[in-house]
Amino acid sequence: MKSVIYYPYFEVQDTTWLKFASLYIGRLTTMIPTNAMRHISDESRSLLEDKSFIRNYNSLRSFSEKVPLIAMTEVDKFLKNPYFKYYGIPKERLVSKDYQTYEIFDEKFSLAWREYCLEKGLGHRSKNGIKVTNEIALIYMHALAKQVAVSKNSSPITDSKYGQEFLSLVAPHNIGAQVRSATHEEFAKRVINFKLPVAIEDIEIKEFMDLRKDKDFIKNQKAFHASLDSYLENNDEEYMYRYLDSLSEMERDIKRWIPLAYSLGVAATEIIVEPENPLNLLSIGESMMEFGTVAINPNEENRLKRSSNKFLTNISNIQLNN
């Protein structure tokens, strides 16, 4: 995971998620408009100034014409869906100002989007743009994140459990494309968690930023991901267990939690990653994806494993602030 575009908020809400992300993601980009910088926390400002992990992208006006058209189409589908009531979201809530608390800044949308929301009662004017419900905001911000991601050869990502669940219901086609990424992400998080010296909640965010400043960190992180890819895409059971055995002192623990879809060459189920239940597997039936066989040069395989272990060793050396 070289780089990701974060949505739907200005800053990451889940600190634990952010710590993990700093280890398995190359770069995280936020979408904070220039006139919204005053709203972010001191910690987020410090992380942006640090520049070792989080960068901000604020050239959002170039997307303000195309994204509203995409979002309006998605919202219309959502509102016209005959199964709308099963989402558990009363239509009255979408048009109630009491629930329209998410502010989309005007740098992110066109006049057409504002008029669309006002006409349908889905939003009301605010000081900085327009306020809508969290559900309408999720649809819009996901569309924006996808378009920014395409322009930057990146992928959209969120730490919102509700956002993941909501979008998987209203736009399952958007989730289907993320099967491989979610599988890789969860595997990386689990392996990393076994190498952390203590519970990740007990480690200050600064320690993760300091680790990222190691000159070889990004190189070894890339090798770690390449190594995981070769594992996840290989349906040779013997190869898979050789790979696990190469991750020193972790193979027993890892083998306890690897789902059958990982350890055997069978069809994988889509994964919706949830903080409280990170291995919640949601079967999508015909949407299931089969892993293919990947051929890899033995010398390259050994190089990746060595670099991967250096990456994991660095993680195990993270220190607590006393």
Mean pLDDT, 10 residues at a time, over the chain (322 residues)? 89 91 90 94 94 93 92 90 67 91 94 96 96 96 95 90 82 55 69 73 87 83 77 64 53 41 30 32 26 45 64 67 52
Do 138 and 228 lie in one domain? The reply is no
Q: Could you tell me the sign of the dihedral formed by the alpha carbons of 218, 242, 178, 199, in that order?
A: negative
In 126-138, which positions are buried (b, 16+ CB within 10 angstroms) versus exposed (e)? Answer: beebbbbbbbbbb
277 domain-assigned: yes
Do 218 and 294 lie in one domain? The reply is yes
Do 86 and 205 lie in one domain? The reply is no
SS3 13: coil
126 domain-assigned: yes
34 domain-assigned: no
| pLDDT value, residue 268 | 30
Measured distance CA(204)–CA(209) in Å, rounded:
9
Do 121 and 202 lie in one domain? The reply is no
SS3 305: helix
Do 187 and 295 lie in one domain? The reply is yes
| pLDDT value, residue 273 | 32
Measured distance CA(55)–CA(70) in Å, rounded:
26
Do 228 and 284 lie in one domain? The reply is yes
Amino acid, res. 109: F
SS3 39: helix
Partners of 155 in the β-ladder: 4
Do 258 and 312 lie in one domain? The reply is yes
Residue 292 DSSP one-character state: P
Do 140 and 210 lie in one domain? The reply is no
In 218-254, which positions are buried (b, 16+ CB within 10 angstroms) versus exposed (e)? Answer: eebbbbbbbbbbbbbebeeeebbeebbebbeebeeeb
| pLDDT value, residue 306 | 65
Q: Which domain holds residue 119?
A: 62-145
Among candidate residues 145, 163, 197, the one where a domain is terminated: 145
Do 234 and 300 lie in one domain? The reply is yes
Do 101 and 199 lie in one domain? The reply is no
| pLDDT value, residue 71 | 96
Torsion of CA 13, 15, 17, 23, to 10 degrees: 130
**Best CA proximity match to 243, nearest among 252, 253, 230:** 230
9 domain-assigned: no
In the chain, how many domains are there?
Answer: 2
| pLDDT value, residue 262 | 35
| pLDDT value, residue 215 | 78
153 domain-assigned: no
Full-model pTM: 0.75
157 domain-assigned: no
Among candidate residues 119, 145, 171, the one where a domain is terminated: 145
Do 186 and 123 lie in one domain? The reply is no
Q: Omega into 156 within 30° of 0, i.e. cis?
A: no
**Helical H segments across the chain, by residue range:** 15-24, 42-50, 66-80, 91-94, 111-120, 134-151, 161-170, 172-176, 179-195, 205-212, 217-232, 237-246, 251-257, 260-263, 298-316
Partners of 27 in the β-ladder: 3
| pLDDT value, residue 256 | 44
Q: Cα angle at 176 between 223 and 193, to 5 degrees? A: 40
44 domain-assigned: no
Contact between 50 and 209 (Cβ < 8 Å):
yes
The DSSP string of 216-277 is THHHHHHHHHHHHHHHHT---HHHHHHHHHHSTTTHHHHHHH--HHHHSSSEEPEE---SSS
3 domain-assigned: no
Do 237 and 186 lie in one domain? The reply is yes
Q: Which residues contact 138 (CB under 8 A, 6 or more apart)?
A: 8, 160, 163, 166, 167
Among candidate residues 145, 163, 195, the one where a domain is terminated: 145
